[in-house]
Structure 1
């Protein structure tokens, strides 16, 4: 009897699933968002707002304009009031949204004049229930905007050179810039001409109106590396080349959210005049090769992770740039404070003064007051920052003390405690449809409680409150990062709470996530006080909070 041995089956390779990469898979839409964008580009909705929706009201807006096209106009529907965080993810967008909008005003490079700030304050007062929030992307956000009022708001903004266009959406968002560009004594190179060239020559080109998702940019020539370059899609920071002099190092593929990745250096030195070309090339790669099938993978960081930095630079140079890039050294990581609080001498002998609105929150009337103070001291240049500060440039030495006092009188803080200086929060449950917890009001309360119970701290302490996992307030790179979620208290009730990340820092480490450790929102003050007191008891001379976290026991961190 003969036996036969069965041949092993040859496993067929699964066919590659298309990712929606235009240069590889073609431009056929693979989801509704891509279909909507192709059928009618986002900015087309502006004229319909003026001609139709502002006259016929919220009910006249079709769903595909409301989301996503309104994002291109800098408008999001805000969350209905009194919808608890436990409903996030259970109700769809149409059930969560209210008939009011969040409006985002662009300040590219964080630049704003007193006249512009006054106009934004008047708009806030007249149309936004006096809401105004400085963001960590150097914008201002307003809430409670009615569609009926949008055309007049646009007219008022455009009259002073401001815009909401492309404040949101699958487009290049506001370009972060050093708030002290052109004046700082520690500046390597002034990046202002590059930001201006991108905004004026590239931003509104049709070729950049339909990217796979949002595209975040930052350009700073300051040695302080003050634009969070490690978590941007594309960023340029000041770099001195031993042969060619001052220019920029380019980073690509950074981002936080649920899959945090630090940006990676191209290993190139970029002269000032080539920054706009390289920026456009990186945006072009994202447009043509970025993943479009799944929204949660449609960020540049996933493409950089798949390709690797060597291939990314090769494609950039061969397909998108006029000439190869020059190899360059790496800029040393700036490990000190990157913010600009306090009084600093400019290179021209005058001073700039940095103050803090707590968690960036302001009112319309307050913005008008701030503008009036600036004008009273002859200041024409105000700057916003990624740390939600306000800077006043070109201050005469004789005016520094009086200006600081006048700004304090408006509700700003010229000498904030480290708790107030370092706290940041997202919009949270009050207005955001993605949030699980209240953040902004809680952050303000937390600062007041920490100052009352602990006074101050003699080292920086960055505290971040996020309403959801998307990390708009940079959870993973804060000393104390708090990610909002619904948790169970001791009585079994579902309540607001936070997952804790400790010891994060830009350029250094992700936060240390405490396994299984949650803090109920009502006990947040007690928790932060407990951890800070442990740090003060155990720290060594000159030790920073993040360094202590790395060696502290888990018990001492809970």
Structure 2
């Protein structure tokens, strides 16, 4: 993985010193909250309902075991013993004291990490495929290009104050596992007819208030010109993106207003002036960065392990885990392993400090000291010998990290929701727990197969609900209760789509029955072994809508809210919820 040079380290160290002075001035009253707010946001510090939240950048999801142990240290010393992995491949700590944040950032700097550009109207964390470098279907390893983008975008003076936040995702494989179609810019590596490497570029994708699948702006940009082409997109957006209305300030609104043809024309005109200029990548530069991502010291190993097959036959739990949590590897004798952060009863994406330490140990023991965070809120050990899979499974099981549910209903994407976030209309974590409790039956989950259930507490859609096979989003209603709108048919990947809304919203206690009725239609209508999303595409939304609304859904008043993480709302909840972080 990439290692800081002296310049990287100096930049981060100086930012910590600068921020420490800013915090002292805020605590002394020299800075008002309005003056301090943009300064803290530049370092990833948000004001939430109960405390400050600190978001830490994990570039393209890649972590060392040393960095994971630092997360464990921060969770114990400064938080409440856990952290939360997000859909941006970052980690958040939700119970932070302002006066301790400079020390946290100093601790992070000691392991080459920071919170810079995890907030604000700038280019955010570059995200990528969690199986980068090991996937059998990979065309090119995207990590060197992601790192080049990270270095280029960090403190870029022209793009420090964009109309709105900006997100870039890059995929290097035949199958898109980075959700590039719902990013401001999505890059997909391809080869042209001559075998040359380049990138298909999508622009204007996103979820939130206006969910849109990105439009293709160029079908092939040679790798040498990746940066200059992206720069031209950014310059057109920076000049013409709306700044008068934050809800219409994203690049997707500009692309929609101009139309992709006119937007492309303006980008091409700008690009003509800078193509071939200083931003052009060279073989030497790409090779220099790529050396940080050289393959580890793989051992020559047999592709099949007879002992592994025998253990699978004798142990159903292990066989289920192998089926759901283990992925192919381009090297014979190796596998990529997903550690599930979706154990029933636990908030999706949450990891305790003790688990972080154990994960770091497993990374050292089984995966060359590295691991990855996924945008679906799980973790990956990317380089595990097949002969170590049984030992790894036993260890992961002992620490609650081996739930065999990857890709199944209980492998939910879920934002923190109104338990923490000042913007949310409804709580996500309690609902995720309630749905998991209702459907946590292994045989049932495996029978219904792959279903992506994504959940957000508000229209900002941090939980990617619009591209969930089943999407749930909290909506604002005047009665002050918690209400959820449901969509189906969304998808990410190569067949990305925005889900269609079923109809009127439901309250908290109705939601498990809503999910149950959706599954009933699927089980009734599916063809043999047909996945849920294929059934939805074949029969459409109407059969689901008819059955869900066929008879009234009674609220289950017997639900004990204390079992689902409900918190009493502070008196200032409404005021803070309508504030801007």
TM surpasses 0.5: yes
Q: Which residue of structure 2 lines up, in the alignment, with residue 352 of structure 1? A: 336
- The structural deviation recorded for 1:463 is 1.1
| Contact 2:85 2:350 (8 Å CA) reproduced | yes
Residues 545, 552 of structure 1: alpha-carbon distance in 2 compared, 3 angstrom cutoff: farther
Which of 492, 495, 512 pairs up with 2:481?
495
Q: Distance in 2 between matches of 1:539 and 1:444?
A: 27
Residues 482, 310 of structure 1: alpha-carbon distance in 2 compared, 3 angstrom cutoff: same
Unaligned runs of 5+ in 1: 1-42, 81-99, 325-339
| Contact 1:356 1:421 (8 Å CA) reproduced | no
Residues 498, 126 of structure 1: alpha-carbon distance in 2 compared, 3 angstrom cutoff: same
Q: Which residue of structure 2 lines up, in the alignment, with residue 218 of structure 1? A: 169
Q: Which residue of structure 1 lines up, in the alignment, with residue 497 of structure 2? A: 509
1:411 aligns with 2:381: no
Q: Distance in 2 between matches of 1:271 and 1:57?
A: 50
- The structural deviation recorded for 1:304 is 0.9
Q: Distance in 1 between matches of 2:455 and 2:220?
A: 36
Which of 485, 509, 528 pairs up with 2:515?
528
1:467 aligns with 2:418: no
User: Residue by residue, what CA displacement relative to the aligned partner does 1:352-389 show, whole Å, maximum 9, x if unpaired?
Assistant: 11122012111222212211222233532201111112
Residues 222, 418 of structure 1: alpha-carbon distance in 2 compared, 3 angstrom cutoff: closer
Q: Which residue of structure 1 lines up, in the alignment, with residue 532 of structure 2? A: 545
Which of 313, 318, 323 pairs up with 2:275?
323
1:159 aligns with 2:159: no
Q: Which residue of structure 2 lines up, in the alignment, with residue 28 of structure 1? A: none
| Contact 2:173 2:189 (8 Å CA) reproduced | yes
User: Residue by residue, what CA displacement relative to the aligned partner does 1:306-355 show, whole Å, maximum 9, x if unpaired?
Assistant: 2222222222222145339xxxxxxxxxxxxxxx9622232232221112
Q: Distance in 2 between matches of 1:318 and 1:545?
A: 44
- The structural deviation recorded for 1:417 is 6.3
Q: Distance in 2 between matches of 1:483 and 1:290?
A: 27
SS at match of 2:167: strand
User: After the TM superposition, which residues 453-464 of structure 1 pair with which residues of structure 2 at under 5 Å, given as runs?
Assistant: 455-456=444-445, 457-464=447-454
Residues 396, 546 of structure 1: alpha-carbon distance in 2 compared, 3 angstrom cutoff: closer
1:342 aligns with 2:322: no
Which shows bigger deviation, 194-203 or 393-402?
194-203
Residues 509, 49 of structure 1: alpha-carbon distance in 2 compared, 3 angstrom cutoff: closer
Q: Which residue of structure 2 lines up, in the alignment, with residue 35 of structure 1? A: none
| Contact 1:419 1:450 (8 Å CA) reproduced | no
- The structural deviation recorded for 1:147 is 1.3
| Contact 2:187 2:200 (8 Å CA) reproduced | yes
| Contact 1:132 1:142 (8 Å CA) reproduced | yes
SS at match of 2:256: helix
TM norm structure 2: 0.77
- The structural deviation recorded for 1:454 is 7.5
| Contact 1:219 1:237 (8 Å CA) reproduced | yes
User: Residue by residue, what CA displacement relative to the aligned partner does 1:196-221 show, whole Å, maximum 9, x if unpaired?
Assistant: 11222332222221111100000111
| Contact 2:360 2:369 (8 Å CA) reproduced | no
Q: Distance in 2 between matches of 1:285 and 1:525?
A: 45
| Contact 2:229 2:275 (8 Å CA) reproduced | no
| Contact 2:121 2:164 (8 Å CA) reproduced | yes
User: After the TM superposition, which residues 44-193 of structure 1 pair with which residues of structure 2 at under 5 Å, given as runs?
Assistant: 49-54=19-24, 57=27, 61-80=31-50, 100-193=51-144
Q: Distance in 1 between matches of 2:448 and 2:438?
A: 17
Q: CA RMSD in A?
A: 2.6
Residues 380, 414 of structure 1: alpha-carbon distance in 2 compared, 3 angstrom cutoff: farther
| Contact 2:490 2:497 (8 Å CA) reproduced | yes
User: Residue by residue, what CA displacement relative to the aligned partner does 1:250-272 show, whole Å, maximum 9, x if unpaired?
Assistant: 01111111111111111331233
Which shows bigger deviation, 241-250 or 100-109?
241-250
User: Residue by residue, what CA displacement relative to the aligned partner does 1:414-441 show, whole Å, maximum 9, x if unpaired?
Assistant: 5216545541111101110111111123
Unaligned runs of 5+ in 2: 1-12, 277-322, 343-347, 550-581
- The structural deviation recorded for 1:141 is 0.8
- The structural deviation recorded for 1:471 is 1.3
| Contact 1:352 1:391 (8 Å CA) reproduced | yes
Aligned length: 478
| Contact 2:45 2:55 (8 Å CA) reproduced | yes
Q: Distance in 2 between matches of 1:476 and 1:58?
A: 44
1:298 aligns with 2:249: yes
Q: Distance in 2 between matches of 1:68 and 1:285?
A: 24
User: Residue by residue, what CA displacement relative to the aligned partner does 1:131-188 show, whole Å, maximum 9, x if unpaired?
Assistant: 3111111111111111111111111111111110110110000001111222211101
Q: Which residue of structure 2 lines up, in the alignment, with residue 93 of structure 1? A: none
Residues 264, 365 of structure 1: alpha-carbon distance in 2 compared, 3 angstrom cutoff: same
Q: Distance in 1 between matches of 2:331 and 2:89?
A: 25
| Contact 2:415 2:455 (8 Å CA) reproduced | yes
- The structural deviation recorded for 1:508 is 4.3
| Contact 1:45 1:69 (8 Å CA) reproduced | no
Which shows bigger deviation, 212-221 or 402-411?
402-411
User: Residue by residue, what CA displacement relative to the aligned partner does 1:456-507 show, whole Å, maximum 9, x if unpaired?
Assistant: 134211112211122111222112111113569xxxx753221111221233
| Contact 1:454 1:529 (8 Å CA) reproduced | no
Which shows bigger deviation, 465-474 or 200-209?
200-209
Which of 214, 233, 241 pairs up with 2:184?
233
SS at match of 1:296: helix
Q: Which residue of structure 1 lines up, in the alignment, with residue 381 of structure 2? A: 392
SS at match of 2:471: strand
Q: Which residue of structure 2 lines up, in the alignment, with residue 30 of structure 1? A: none
SS at match of 1:515: coil
User: Residue by residue, what CA displacement relative to the aligned partner does 1:287-319 show, whole Å, maximum 9, x if unpaired?
Assistant: 222111111111101111122222222222221
1:426 aligns with 2:415: yes
TM norm structure 1: 0.80
